Amino acid sequence: MKRCLTLALALASVLPFTAAAHKQWLLPSSTVVAGNDVWITVDAAVSNELYYPDFVPVRLDNVTVTGPDGSAVQLQNASTGKTRSVFDVELKQQGTYRIANLNNGLSARWGERRTGGEGGKPDAGKGQAPAAPKPADNQDSGFLRNATVEDLTTKVPKNAKNLEISETLGRVETFVSNGEPTEIKPTGKGLELLPVTQPNDLFTGEPAKFKLLVDGKPAAGLEVQVVRGATRYRNAQDEQKVTTDTSGQFTVNWQEPGMYWLSASTSDNKTTVKQATQRRLSYVATLEVLPQ
Amino acid sequence: MTKTVPLTLTIALSGLLAMPAYAATLQVQLEIPTLNVAEYHRPYVAVYVEGADGKATANLAVWYQNKDTKEGHGTKWLPDLRQWWRKSGRSLDLPVDGVTGPTRPAGVQTLDFAANAPQLSDLKPGNYTLVVEAAREVGGRELVKVPFTWPATAVQTAKGHGSSEIGAVSLTARP
């Protein structure tokens, strides 16, 4: 019973519904490069401290690299270790590359709700075993992550009470420009950043403007969190919180150079899967701010 | 034969005396400091002119490693000249005749331009800032800005000074 409770608590803490204690990120070795055949390396991890891989890796199954011409670029030398995944990207084109991890899936929970605990394995992409309670355990409550529509019929108990199914669309990305930056076109799906200031043109002392879009439309009133990296070497998070205005735009002031983690989330009910009652959208970007 | 000698002499003299009768000129002198470090590499340097709006209007010189080494092509490190790169460098088709060249050693480097030189062709009358940006491998970066007006109505000398990667900078514009 104790083991079952511990397991349930541990599993419950994994729910994407609770505020993420951890930060997921893609960290490129450089964001401003030059040359006809440039190589960069990207770290992908989920961690507490920015940008140190102190927790679990991000699986690379859903990581894509889009070139300036919109074509897909292959990840090279990819590997997933204990605390991070790493891969190389060869930039043969001039322009801005978009490197993103897309976490799209269905989540379901039913039965008694347990209050979320601390940390636990967060949503890190397909390939992770959906954590469903064993048949021998308490059938009255449970949950699924990264479920498919089929899983909803096979893995959810028929008489599940309090069943809540959500769609999650998460995008974690970063940008690298080789030579002159090119336009970043919105995908029109989920929550994403539309640059007003080019993401590879960020310098301390120069306020940057961005817009947040949901399904291609400006998202007003969203809170954006911005945290500078190197959190290990200071005693406070020093995060900035800004809210998008009616045109979905927000401004960030960079006091210091460094890598910054920018995050926003929202939810609505514009689901594409009919059993889902709500949609949870999240967005994370790693932005490099250079000194003057 | 005898005619050409006096002509040459006259031109040489007028260059020394900077007579307004002859074409206007712009001269930039910058000092690459001698540094006593264990691993010295000649700096990458960009000398350019910014308009009042902060945009690059003219590139006067860009010195960088022109040959390939096992560390890659010299252009790989051009983004280290951060301000020049974003204001001009990244949209240029390098190399640029009369502008780009190999890195230079420590000492005073002089750049001379006639007012009708191609490098100055986009300088309309107005207030400008001469920017000298230097970045040195396993060393530092520095930016020195010297404001000036173009074209000069009288001999104009403007000076600036760096503290680490750039020494004295002076600009002389002659009408």
Express each pLDDT in A154-202 by its tens digit. 888 888 888 889 999 999 999 999 999 999 999 999 999 999 999 999 9
Into how many domains does chain A fold? Answer: 2
Residues of chain B whose beta carbon is less than 8 angstroms from a beta carbon of chain A are 72-73, 75-79, 82-83, 85-86, 89-91, 143
Interface contact B85-A34, CB threshold 8 A: yes
Helix (H, G, I), strand (E, B) or coil at A249: strand
Q: How confident is the model at residue A113 (pLDDT cuts 50, 70, 90)?
A: confident
Q: Is there a single domain that holds both residue A131 and residue A245?
A: no
Residue A63 bridge partners (DSSP):
A101
User: Is A26 domain-assigned?
Assistant: yes
Q: Is there a single domain that holds both residue A258 and residue A248?
A: yes
Burial class from Cβ neighbours inside 10 Å (0-12, 13-18, 19+) for residue A222 reads buried
Q: Scanning every residue of chain B, which has its alpha carbon at the shortest distance from the alpha carbon of A182?
A: B91
CB contacts < 8 A, A to B, total 32
Q: Is there a single domain that holds both residue A173 and residue A163?
A: no
Which pTM was predicted?
A: 0.83
Residue A264 bridge partners (DSSP):
A224, A283
The CATH number of whichever domain residue A82 belongs to comes to 2.60.40.10
pLDDT at residue A112, as a whole number: 80
Q: Last residue of a domain, which of A167, A185, A209?
A: A167
User: Is A9 domain-assigned?
Assistant: no
Inform me whether the pLDDT recorded for A142 exceeds 50. Answer: yes
Q: Is there a single domain that holds both residue A133 and residue A221?
A: no
Q: Last residue of a domain, which of A115, A143, A167?
A: A167
Inform me whether the pLDDT recorded for B21 exceeds 80. Answer: no
Q: Is there a single domain that holds both residue A163 and residue A282?
A: no
Q: What does the radius of gyration of chain B's CA atoms come to, in whole angstroms?
A: 18
| Domain containing residue A207 | 17-102+168-289
Q: Is there a single domain that holds both residue A161 and residue A184?
A: no
Question: Whole-angstrom Cα distance, residue B44 to residue B104?
Answer: 8
Q: Last residue of a domain, which of A167, A191, A222?
A: A167
Q: Is there a single domain that holds both residue A209 and residue A264?
A: yes
Q: Is there a single domain that holds both residue A23 and residue A111?
A: no
Inform me whether the pLDDT recorded for B19 exceeds 90. Answer: no
Q: Is there a single domain that holds both residue A208 and residue A279?
A: yes
Q: Is there a single domain that holds both residue A84 and residue A203?
A: yes
User: Is A6 domain-assigned?
Assistant: no
Q: How confident is the model at residue B8 (pLDDT cuts 50, 70, 90)?
A: low
For an interface test with A, the pick among B86, B93, B94, B143 (most A C-beta atoms closer than 10 Å) comes out as: B86
Residue A107 bridge partners (DSSP):
A166
User: Is A10 domain-assigned?
Assistant: no
Interface contact A201-B86, CB threshold 8 A: yes
Q: What is the ipTM metric for this complex?
A: 0.81
Inform me whether the pLDDT recorded for B10 exceeds 80. Answer: no
Inform me whether the pLDDT recorded for B102 exceeds 60. Answer: yes
- How large is the average pLDDT for residues B116-132? 93
Q: Is there a single domain that holds both residue A83 and residue A128?
A: no
pLDDT at residue A63, as a whole number: 97
User: Is A4 domain-assigned?
Assistant: no
E strand spans, A52-207: 56-57, 63-66, 72-73, 76-80, 85-91, 95-110, 142-147, 164-178, 191-195
Residue B79 phi, psi dihedral angles, 5° rounding:
-60, -10
CA distance B108 to chain A (A): 26
pLDDT at residue B52, as a whole number: 93
Tell me which of A114 and A290 has the higher pLDDT. A290
User: Is A49 domain-assigned?
Assistant: yes
User: Is A267 domain-assigned?
Assistant: yes
CA distance to A288, B51, B61, B138, per residue, from B44 (Å): 23, 22, 10, 12
Tokens of B6: 């006096």
AA identity, residue A161? K
Q: Is there a single domain that holds both residue A221 and residue A284?
A: yes
User: Is A197 domain-assigned?
Assistant: yes
